[in-house]
Amino acid sequence: MPIRKSHKAWSWHALIATLAILLGLPVAAHAAAVAATTPAATTPTTQVTVASPTGSTSTTTTASTTTAVAGAVTAATAAATSATTTASTGALLATGDNGAGELGLGTIGNESNFWQAGSSMTWTTVATGLDFACGIQAPGTLWCWGGNGVGQLGTGNVTLQTSPVQVGTDTNWTQVAAGANHTCAVQADGDLYCWGSGALGKLGQGNSTLSKVPVKVPGTGWKQVVTGQDSTCAVKTDGTAWCWGYGGSGELGNGSVASVNVPTQVGTAKTWKSLTSGQYHTCGVQTTGTLWCWGYNPYGQLGNGNATQQSAPVQVGTAKDWVSVTGAFQSTCALKLGGTLWCWGYGGSGQLGNGTVANKTVPTQVGTGTTWSSVSAIQYSTCAKQTDTTLWCWGYNAQGQLGLGTTTQQNAPVQVTTPITVGAIGSGPISDHMIVVSQDTTPVNACPATPTDQVFSSIGDLADYSLAPNGDFENGLGDWTLTNAKVVAGNESLGFLTGSNSLQLGGPGTGTGDATAVSPAFCINALNPSFRYLVKANTTASGIIYVSLRFRPKNNPAYVVQIGTTANIGTKGNWRVSDQTPLATLVAAALLKAGGTVQLVFSTSAATNAYGGVQIDDVLVDPYRRG
């Protein structure tokens, strides 16, 4: 943040107000930041230029060049910490790797869109481990799920869990961190507990014994904990930093590469505000606004301009306006006071967000934006929130961890269209799944309670429209609603004449007049899924089928009928695959973004019906809704 001399006098409170707005703090946090400051009437002044969210700049005056900026960092970030602690609760939405149920969806299998885990709307924070995750719900209960091979879920066993399971019965948990196979969490009274693998002493118990339940770490006054691959670090309320576990890369910051099995202080400083861990490196922000890193450094993840390993904290540049920092596997990202975002280290998967895959040994700005309010990183991917609560993600995406509906790598920030309102973003330097807390009243990618239990014929049969014995037409109508239409046997395109059914609109035995078939409801995907189907005319010549769509916006009890399209079926008796029709051609993009449920409507005219009607089969929505 550039500083230049000025004789113009602006109020110190104006600076704090500006900072609070740029940091996206709620009114209470803004007020706390202002209340924590007192102007010095006789102190020489300096002018601070702050870029606004719109790209313009404004100027305010502080008390002194060095102490005022540091004080602003302290006040604003303290307010940010308070705001985080008292943040609104929300739903848990997850995407990415799900080989062990770590998304909490009750299933196994990767997802490339954010889906809601359970129905609770009381989540406040979440952390992601290698193949598991843990989160806290109001008023302070702790829950974990996913892989559990060494007891990292804290449930007293090694049973895998695909949905959140409560850890004990305590209700005073405030913060949680997840490593490769161990977990640590802080309670409101300042006690710290760890569990899971105890290899290399990372549980802080003076040994290497694993624990399937939380065990108390020696000491009191703990306020924040972070976990790396095989190490743990924590900050106390007195501003001291402590690390333990594997130290072979210098990540414990005690000046050596020895592993230790009990908390060991990092230097003598008492100004640590927060820490973060990468795989084998650690970084922290001090109350002075300075940023420090240490540990493994082959890709420049320490940000000091070289690739030299450091076993004690080394300052990142000379800036004193750092607010927060997050560590990934081999990279680091951090926010500055003016709302700018910076990343450095390994960039081979685009996780630095600068449009390239080059490594960076010094902090490099992500775009030119000045409205970033928080950032979190997982293994090779990064997500950040802006002050308008929108979520942006970039980097490695092979498991769909960016939540963009694809598995395509992104080298620069891309907005995630759902969820549209984000609170906390989970982080975990070893994980390949992303989990966020959404403050949406009804999470846009989560289906309403009803209807969600129906499937279409051949849902998920992407390859050849083969026989779908579990489809609606094979097992009755499900929730299809028919007018002048009926299920008939056989006649599918691949020649299945038994055990397979299709749906006939009009023709013999269906009645007269227009024929209509309305599908069961399914949840839309805001990333614009498409639908297609098989169709055959039974008429004496070519036929026409009308396809429209009924859309029910979230929180709206009524369906809104949208204008549909028509499709020429072709020659009598020949099955054909329809064009793949994006839902956005029938529903406005804005409605898709808002979310809701959909029903497809197929219909034919009375004139067509008089000549034998039309048959449809294998209605396919891809990607389909999660029920």
Percent of the residues in the chain that have a pLDDT greater than 90, as a whole number: 51
Summarize the confidence of residues 33-46 as an average pLDDT. 29
The H-or-E segment that residue 336 falls in is: strand 331-336
Of 153-162, 195-204, 234-243, 589-598, where does mean pLDDT reach its minimum? 589-598
Task: Look at residue 444 and tell me if it is in a domain.
Answer: no
List of residues 6+ apart from 226 with CB closer than 8 A = 177, 232, 233, 234, 275, 276, 277, 282, 327
Q: Please tell me the predicted confidence (pLDDT) of residue 541.
A: 55
The answer to whether residue 309 sits within a structural domain is yes
pLDDT digit string (tens) for 127-143?
999 999 999 999 999 99
Residue of 323, 331, 269 whose CA lies nearest to 295: 331
User: What's the confidence (pLDDT) of residue 556?
Assistant: 56
Whether 574 maps to a domain, the answer reads yes
292 by DSSP, 3-state: which? Answer: strand
Please check the confidence at residue 79 and state whether its pLDDT lies above 60: no
Residue 246: inside a domain, yes or no?
A: yes
Summary mean pLDDT of the chain: 77
If you average pLDDT over residues 301-315, what whole number do you get? 98
- Average pLDDT score over residue span 530-540: 69
User: Would 607 be classed as within a structural domain?
Assistant: yes
| Residue 595 near residue 444, CB atoms below 8 Å | yes
Give CA–CA dist 614/507, Å, rounded.
7
CA dihedral 233→237→239→243, nearest 10 degrees, is: -20
Whether the predicted pLDDT of 238 surpasses 90 = yes
Query: How far is 244 from 520, CA to CA, in rounded Å?
Result: 55
In a domain, residue 443? The reply is no
63: CB partners within 8 A, 6+ apart: 12, 39, 40, 43, 45, 71
Please give the average per-residue pLDDT across 57-67, as a whole number. 32
pLDDT score, position 314: 98
Does one domain contain both 538 and 568? yes
- The answer to whether residues 546 and 424 belong to one domain is no
Report angle CA 622, 626, 627 to the nearest 5 degrees: 135
Segment 447-492, tens digit of pLDDT: 443 333 333 433 323 333 443 344 556 666 667 888 998 888 765 5
For residues 85, 88, 89, 95, the Cα torsion angle rounded to the nearest 10 degrees is -90
Query: Could you report the per-residue pLDDT of 537-583, keeping only the tens digit for each?
Result: 776 556 678 888 777 665 555 666 666 777 766 666 667 767 767 66
Regarding whether 305 and 254 lie in a shared domain, the answer is yes
Please give the pLDDT value at position 499: 53
Q: What percent of the chain clears pLDDT 70, i.e. is strictly above it? A: 67
- The residue among 365, 363, 364, 361 whose CA lies nearest residue 305 is 361
User: CATH number, domain at 503?
Assistant: 2.60.120.200
Q: Domain total for the chain?
A: 3
Q: Got the DSSP string for 57-122?
A: EEEEEES-HHHHHHHHHHHHHHHHHHHHHTPPPBEEEEEE--TTSTT-SSS-S-EEEEEE-SS---
* Same domain as 233, residue 135: yes
Residue 315 has pLDDT above 80, yes or no: yes
Residue 509: predicted pLDDT: 82
pLDDT confidence of residue 614: 84
pLDDT digits (tens, 9 = 90+) for 146-202: 999 999 999 999 999 999 999 999 999 999 999 999 999 999 999 999 999 999 999
pLDDT of residue 443: 44
Q: Closest by alpha carbon to 370, among 12, 616, 19?
A: 19
Between 223 and 457, whose confidence is greater?
223
What is the CATH number for 132?
Answer: 2.130.10.30
Among 62, 85, 108, the domain-final residue is 85
Check residues 447 and 334 and name the one with the higher pLDDT: 334
Residues 542, 582 contacting (CB under 8 angstroms):
no
Closest by alpha carbon to 353, among 338, 375, 371, 373? 375
Q: What is the dihedral of CA 27, 30, 35, 40, to 10 degrees?
A: -140
Torsion of CA 284, 290, 292, 297, to 10 degrees: 120
Q: Is the pLDDT of residue 110 over 90?
A: no
CA atoms within 13 A on the CB side of 473: 32
- As a whole number, mean pLDDT of residues 501-522 equals 81
Of 204, 162, 163, 166, the C-alpha closest to 182 is: 204
Asked if residue 38 lies in contact with residue 88, where contact means CB atoms within 8 angstroms, the answer is no
- The DSSP bridge partners found for residue 617 are 534
Is residue 490 within 8 Å of 500, Cβ to Cβ?
A: yes
The answer to whether residue 49 scores a pLDDT higher than 80 is: no
Closest CA to 105 of 91, 85, 84: 91
Do 105 and 70 lie in one domain? The reply is: no
Domain range for residue 541?
Answer: 481-622
Q: How far apart are CA 520 and CA 484, in angstroms?
A: 17
Q: What are phi and psi of 493, to 5 degrees?
A: -65, -30
Residues 376 and 509 in one domain: no
3 state DSSP class of 162: strand
Residue 510 to residues 367, 477, 479, Cα–Cα distance (Å): 61, 15, 18
Lowest mean pLDDT among 28-32, 246-250, 350-354, 439-443: 28-32
Given a contact cutoff of 8 angstroms between Cβ atoms, the answer to whether 397 and 381 are in contact is yes
- Residues 223 and 190 sit within 8 Å (Cβ to Cβ): yes
Is residue 473 a part of any domain in this protein? Answer: no
Same domain flag for 111 and 137: yes
pLDDT greater than 70 at residue 93: yes
Residue finishing a domain among 61, 85, 109? 85
Q: Which of 85-89, 536-540, 608-612 reaches the highest mean pLDDT?
A: 608-612
Q: 71 and 143 share a domain? A: no
Both tokens assigned to 31: 């007020």
380 lies in some domain: yes
Please give the DSSP secondary-structure letter assigned to residue 267: S
Once rounded to an integer, what is the mean pLDDT over residues 425-446? Answer: 79
DSSP string, 30-72: HHHHHHT----TTS--EEEEEE-TTS-EEEEEES-HHHHHHHH
Do 77 and 136 sit in the same domain of this protein? Answer: no
> Are 193 and 279 in a shared domain?
yes
Task: Report d(CA 314, CA 331) in Å as an integer.
Answer: 16
In angstroms, the CA 129 to CA 139 distance is 23
Instruction: For the beta carbon of residue 579, count every other beta carbon within 10 angstroms.
Output: 13
Asked if 140 and 224 sit in the same domain, the reply is: yes
Are 187 and 193 spatial neighbours (Cβ–Cβ below 8 Å)?
Answer: yes
39 — pLDDT class (breaks 50, 70, 90)? very low
Going by C-alpha positions, the residue among 190, 256, 200, 254 that lies closest to residue 231 is 200
Choosing from 412, 438, 464, the residue where a domain stops is: 438
Measured distance CA(60)–CA(87) in Å, rounded? 29
Phi, psi (rounded to 5 degrees) for 235: -115, 140
Provide the whole-model pTM.
0.66
More confident residue, 63 or 352: 352
Same domain, yes or no: 125 and 259: yes
The per-residue pLDDT for 621 is 62
